[in-house]
Amino acid sequence: MNEILLGLAIALQIGDGVTTYFALQKQGVRERNPIVRRLFGKVGIVRGLVLAKCFGVAVCWAAYAYAGPFAVYTLGFIVALYAVVVINNLKSLCR
């Protein structure tokens, strides 16, 4: 189960990166996370997304590797959270 959740979490990190990139290309759409928005201002959108998503994947892997019996809950939370984020990004793309 943990392996499936890890795969979903990583896939959603990638999905978030891709949908964020395309959503930010639209007029009037901006990054809501102030930390990531500041990162974009310093290194640019593409580099910022790569850095942020690499960090996100590292967090997923750490949850898988070190959370022990709580890994299923930690990864499940990450999957649920990023599913909402990706859905929100897709809604921004459809507007």
Q: What is the pLDDT of residues 16-69, one digit of tens each?
A: 999 999 999 888 788 999 999 999 999 999 999 999 999 999 999 999 999 999
Residue 17 CA neighbour count, 13 Å, CB half: 19
**Angle separating helix axes 71-94 and 45-66, nearest 10 degrees:** 160
Which two tokens mark 33?
A: 């996370």
User: Who wins on pLDDT, 95 or 43?
Assistant: 43
CB 10, CB 79: distance < 8 Å: no
Contacts of 37 (CB under 8 A, 6+ apart): 30, 31
User: Who wins on pLDDT, 1 or 28?
Assistant: 1
- What's the Cα-to-Cα distance from 30 to each of 25, 36, 85, rounded to whole Å? 9, 11, 14
Res. 95 pLDDT band, cuts 50 70 90: confident
Q: Return the pLDDT at 45.
A: 95
Q: Return the pLDDT at 28.
A: 79
User: Who wins on pLDDT, 92 or 19?
Assistant: 19
Q: Return the pLDDT at 73.
A: 96
Beta-carbon count within 10 A of 50 CB: 13
Is the pLDDT assigned to residue 3 strictly greater than 90? yes
